[in-house]
């Protein structure tokens, strides 16, 4: 089955702990993205990657880190430096053709709750 | 970050009515995408647009890439209960390498 998979669906962590959210795609997509969504809000870009071993900060990168060691994987670490980590996190992937990002497809999301 | 202004923020309509929403920006876009999100799920791609003036349909949904490359609209005809959800526009600004999203339009349908 082709697609983009986020795990886990729900995650609970204690305040002050780092936590890593998984995102895997088998669509051979070049680009991968992490977004954060708060209740009733839109999607805000955390990090994105266009190619293996390279990534760029989005609009709200502080308190987060990523890696892109493999084309199919783009894990997101929410560090203890992130002041308000409780949110719904969405990963997406898409092709790049002629330097244009084509349609991006989303995973099912991970709801992180920090207590 | 790049600003996408999506309107309206919310809509309350009767079943069977047509719906129209739009996104505007001061920046020029290479790509316009429209998504629908159900509660607790990831957004699902509805329509992708790549050329200025392009008009594309997907069933009862129609979207257009504005001629100025700074706006896009989505129309839904003859709404049904399963159309309820949040609709997002997204796009790639010319010269940038990321997708940015509008704030969403929450659609509620009264039966």
Q: Which of A27, A21, A23 is nearest to A1 (CA)?
A: A27
Model confidence over B16-70: pLDDT tens digits?
A: 999 999 999 999 998 999 999 998 899 999 999 999 999 999 999 999 999 999 9
Q: Is B92 in the A-facing interface, judged by CB distances under 8 Å? A: yes
Residue, of A110 and A103, whose pLDDT is higher = A110
Residues of chain B contacting residue A101, judged by C-beta atoms under 8 Å apart: 30-31, 92, 97-99
Chain A CB within 8 Å of residue B100 CB: yes
Q: By the 8 A CB rule, do A102 and A113 touch?
A: no
More confident residue, A48 or B99: A48
Nearest CA in chain B to A31: B98
- A33/B99 Cβ within 8 A: yes
Return the pLDDT at B66: 96
Per-residue pLDDT reduced to its tens digit, A29-81? 999 999 999 987 889 999 999 999 999 999 999 999 999 999 999 999 999 98
User: Torsion over CA of B34, B102, A38 and A104, rounded to 10 degrees?
Assistant: 40
A86: helix, strand or coil? coil
CB nearest A101 (choices: B31, B43, B45): B31
Q: What is the pLDDT of residue A97?
A: 73
Chain A, residues 61-80, CB within 8 A of chain B, namely: none
Q: Which of A35, A99, A103 sits opposite B33 (nearest CB)?
A: A103
**Residue labelled with tokens 């987060």:** A64
């Amino acid at each position: 089955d082709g697609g983009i998979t986020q795990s886990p669906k729900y995650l609970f962590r204690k305040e002050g702990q780092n936590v890593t959210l998984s995102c895997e795609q088998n669509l051979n997509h070049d680009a991968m993205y992490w977004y954060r969504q708060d209740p009733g809000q839109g999607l805000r870009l955390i990090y994105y990657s266009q190619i293996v071993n390279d990534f760029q900060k989005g609009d709200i990168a502080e308190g987060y880190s990523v890696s892109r060691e493999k084309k199919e994987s783009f894990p997101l670490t929410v560090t203890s430096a992130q002041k308000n980590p409780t949110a719904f996190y969405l990963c997406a992937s898409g092709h790049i053709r002629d330097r244009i990002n084509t349609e991006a497809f989303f995973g099912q999301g991970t709801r992180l709750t920090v207590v | 970050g790049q600003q996408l202004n999506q309107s309206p923020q919310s809509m309350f309509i009767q079943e069977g009515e047509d719906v129209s929403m739009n996104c505007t920006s001061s920046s020029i876009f290479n790509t316009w995408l429209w998504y629908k999100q159900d509660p607790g799920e990831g957004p699902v791609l509805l329509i992708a647009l790549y050329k200025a003036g392009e008009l594309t349909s997907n069933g009862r949904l129609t979207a257009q890439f504005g001629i100025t490359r700074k706006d896009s609209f989505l129309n839904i005809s003859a709404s049904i209960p399963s159309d309820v959800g949040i609709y997002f526009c997204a796009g790639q600004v010319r010269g940038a390498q990321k997708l940015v999203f509008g704030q969403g339009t929450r659609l509620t349908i009264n039966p």
